[in-house]
Amino acid sequence: MKGLSPLIAAVILIAVTMGIAGVLALWATGFMKSKLSESENVTVQTSCLAAEFTLRYGKYDKGKRSLYLVLDNTKNVDLQITNLYLIYPNNRLETKTINETLKGGEMLAINVDDVDDNFTKGTIKTNCPEVSLDFTYSQVTS
Rounding to the nearest 10 degrees, give the CA dihedral for residues 82, 127, 104, 52.
100
- 34 and 101 inside one domain: no
- 104 and 135 inside one domain: yes
What is the reported pLDDT for 8? 83
pLDDT tens profile 76-123: 889 999 999 999 998 999 999 999 999 999 999 999 999 999 899 999
- 41 and 57 inside one domain: no
- 73 and 91 inside one domain: yes
Is a pLDDT exceeding 60 seen at residue 138? yes
- 99 and 32 inside one domain: no
- The CATH code of the domain that includes 110 is 2.60.40.3970
Cβ neighbours of residue 25 closer than 8 Å, sequence gap 6 or more: none
User: Is-contact 55 107, C-beta < 8 A?
Assistant: no
What is the reported pLDDT for 39? 59
User: Is-contact 124 54, C-beta < 8 A?
Assistant: no
How many domains does the chain fold into? 2
- The reported pTM is 0.67
For range 16-27, the mean pLDDT: 91
pLDDT tens profile 42-78: 555 567 888 899 999 999 999 999 999 999 999 988 9
Domain, as residue range, for 14: 1-49
For range 29-50, the mean pLDDT: 70
